[in-house]
Chains A and B, each alone.
Chain A
């Protein structure tokens, strides 16, 4: 049977670093980039006698996330110790949640191939991140450990095995990431590892009920790698079954250089984590008041926002989704639309500029919206200038670049750089006359029926006017002076 005759079943486990100022069980900062072990203390170094104390902000962010994803927030949840030895795990156990996580149920909604999908969540729990082993850092070849990241708070978000294709997995992840970013609980950065994903992959002959044996795939730090890894793994499992073999339960590591997954440890080698309730931390109690406050403070979520853009502003679905998925961009967009105030047409233009040239400039500069010099008011002003015919496409583009770089007002830039388009009919006509006079042969051929030459004359006029001619006026004047073909 070819791959197409198999059903793919995927479940995803996402580890999202929470945007708290301090670590989950101590007061050390969570910021990146410090010298190794600069952000450590007796607690996150696991010195003898040190005890964890729970950062309440972590609970608040977990509750916020759970509410946004429709989970049942558990009034009492329990931290547990997950025991294993590794140098980046200073206590010899990770404080996590096991039998009683803070959130149960919930779902992630997304669109894939035009189809609305809703994939249920099993649970969300709170835990601490580990540190990092550094190899080949010392002259003698020994390894080091950097514990700056040890104790950074994580949410683990576990889906049911309900994803049916790699496309679904990618869209699920994008939608989940957009929610977390909108909630301001996570920065959504896959490359830097603040949003990480493991996949449970299994296949079964099409239509069969019983799930196949699953493998857990680790180390996919981009959507592209997720796609490669899952596609490879599906092929691998199908080949194993096709050749009469059995897929063994194991943990596999994705190797981005070779685009394949490799066995990391088998079921027999799997750790026995010896979970038990963490005796150093009392059960976490979430009072109804905290839930109510978190519910009241929930921001508009990406899908709701995209719906609003589609339904109220008439944005095309793709534009609406793109803007809606990033809260900072959405805030910028909302402010620009409010400043413009000229209705749906202006909103569409603002969206176009935002997803087009502004996005390009932002990309090139690497600046997030909050660091842009361009203000929402300025973008609205630029769109106003376009709608009024004061500036044409090329002039507007040039003005935008200047505004993005300097923060100047578009009207001033257009004025100072002489970017306004010539909308004076008599001035345009004078140029048209000059151009026609300079190309008698082409005029002759046009009049003989070669209508395609209209574009040539318009182009010549625009060139003569250095792109500032009002395109509608130029078109009309050329046609008028040439007379019918």
Chain B
């Protein structure tokens, strides 16, 4: 019974709940048992909120019994990255400095899931303050890839991707600042969507780099991701950078296929660093699109070669400021000290791990008097140029397609001692963040040699998530589902 439930994707489960052939309680118990059985190996969860989940499920079943089901997410067991604030439930951002912190409010995206009736299973592992590409920067424990426990799940939303791949939850929320949804989605063989900047409220999400951070869903299928995005997207008056543009219907045209779509293939994304097995799968996916009636258009994104450099000025600069509030004064860790300066110093020395420290130093330096123009300001100009590249490209194409990451999931520890190598994992994803565009990762098969998933990245016009999802769905339907992750 449990295995059958776990085999359903989100929309299928929703159908069963709607028809009352299954209860939310059964689904929730199946998920909790699955977490119990697998998470010792995977490490996707930092916290399982079993009691809360059971209460959520009971309430959902009660609504279903009354015929008052709130919609397709009512009663569906989900989980969120531990970067989202959850009222009364410890929220750490993967950092010692917030260990034990219980927020007094829910992030807007979480509140919207709750309002839709979702069951929240717990909080998911991540790189500390979402800084990383392997989940190895978690202050608490590593997360492992359900396809191969010797590999990382990617990051920073590693737990969010691994939980879906391990069938511990029917969908999760992650955040993406430079690829933190798409790269782990690609590594774990799930669908991950980074919406347009401003499409989903950032309120209540621990800030990493405010002008780049965006919330998005991870799920087993494109349709499941679309459903989750539908629930969380839209203006929030508490986030002035959230857009007031109306939210489209992401499901209405999901099945319309790829015929007639113009798919832009950036020359620059198929250069030296791309691993041949990954390239092979990505090219196969492009060929499938052609077969489905889409037209491939070669495009150029000449400034994307500066994306990493610009990103590693802008993101640390903003992070250095965003992380200033963790000072030991009001909440979180406070190191014992004799005076104020010592309290600041000790608290932050003990509370932050090496990667946040590295980025605080980088960012502080980049913003320093005399360096601002040469670094931060110049990086912002690069950002404008990257956006213009895309604007020009979208005159000739409807979506841009390419690899998510240069490689498949790498081994734990492989890049840990070389931050620069780690940073390069985001070389293809960062541009969409800098340009504030929507992007997603959809599985496009297993690596021919390594037998772990490869993801195809699609990037769309601003606020055109609908086209992006439709294109992803066309590929998903054509190639069929991946097998279940074998090692969970």
Contact = CB atoms under 8 A, between A and B. Distances in A.
* For the complex of A and B, 3 pairs with smallest distance between CB atoms: A92-B324, A274-B367, A279-B211
Contacts of A81: 321
B321 A274 contact: yes
B479 interface: no
Interface in A107-156: 145
Contacts of B210: 279-280
B321 A51 contact: no
8 contacts: A48-B93, A53-B239, A53-B240, A276-B317, A276-B318, A276-B321, A281-B240, A282-B240
B238 A48 contact: no
Given A91-B325, A276-B321, 5 more contacts: A49-B203, A51-B238, A83-B320, A274-B368, A276-B376
Contacts of A50: 203-204
B148 interface: no
Interface in A67-124: 81, 83, 85, 87, 90-93
Interface in B340-386: 340, 344, 364, 367-369, 372, 376
A226 B105 CA distance: 45
Most buried by B among A50, A51, A53: A51
Interface stretch (A39-47, A199-207, A365-373): A39-47
Interface in A293-317: none
B269 to A, nearest CB: 27
A286 B89 CA distance: 41
Contact of B324 (A47, A52, A93): A93
B484 interface: no
Contacts of A51: 202-203, 207, 238-241
Contacts of B85: 47-49
Interface residues of B, number: 43
Interface in A416-457: none
Chief secondary structure at chain A's binding surface:
loop
A54 B240 CA distance: 8
B91 interface: yes
Interface string A10-52: 0000000000000000000000000000000010011111111
Contacts of A46: 325, 330
A85 B324 contact: yes
A85 B327 contact: yes
B329 interface: yes
A272 interface: yes
B107 interface: yes
B364 A274 contact: yes
A132 B426 CA distance: 43
A401 to B, nearest CB: 53
Contacts of B241: 51, 279-282
Contact of A48 (B98, B211, B237): B98
Contacts of A54: 240
Contacts of B209: 279
A144 to B, nearest CB: 10
Contact of A49 (B207, B324, B330): B207
B393 to A, nearest CB: 25
Contacts of A45: 330
B409 to A, nearest CB: 29
A280 B325 CA distance: 15
Contact of B321 (A52, A53, A92): A92
Given A90-B325, A276-B376, A279-B318, A47 B240 contact: no
Most buried by B among A42, A47, A48: A48
Interface residues of A, number: 28
B318 A47 contact: no
B368 A48 contact: no
A47 B329 contact: no
B98 A92 contact: no
B423 interface: no
B206 interface: yes
B216 to A, nearest CB: 16
A87 B330 CA distance: 9
B205 interface: yes
A266 to B, nearest CB: 16
Contacts of A145: 329-330
B246 interface: no
Contacts of B91: 48
B103 interface: yes
Contact of A47 (B103, B239, B323, B372): B103
A87 B329 CA distance: 7
Interface in B29-82: none
A238 to B, nearest CB: 31
A136 to B, nearest CB: 15
B367 A49 contact: no
A90 to B, nearest CB: 6
Interface string B231-248: 000000111110000000
Nearest to A53: B240
Contacts of A83: 320-321, 324, 367
B101 interface: yes
Nearest to B368: A272
A173 B91 CA distance: 49
Interface string B80-94: 000011000001010
A92 to B, nearest CB: 2
Given A49-B103, A50-B203, A54-B240, A91 B372 contact: no
Contacts of B318: 276, 279
Contacts of B104: 42, 47
Contacts of A87: 327, 329, 340
A336 to B, nearest CB: 46
Nearest to B84: A49
Interface in A383-403: none
Nearest to B206: A48
A317 to B, nearest CB: 49
B270 interface: no
Given A274-B364, A276-B317, A276-B376, A48 B101 contact: yes
A344 to B, nearest CB: 55
B331 interface: yes
Contacts of B324: 83, 85, 91-93
Nearest to B317: A276
Contacts of B84: 49
A274 B371 CA distance: 10
A85 B344 contact: yes
A119 to B, nearest CB: 29
B74 to A, nearest CB: 26
Contacts of B331: 47-48
A332 B98 CA distance: 57
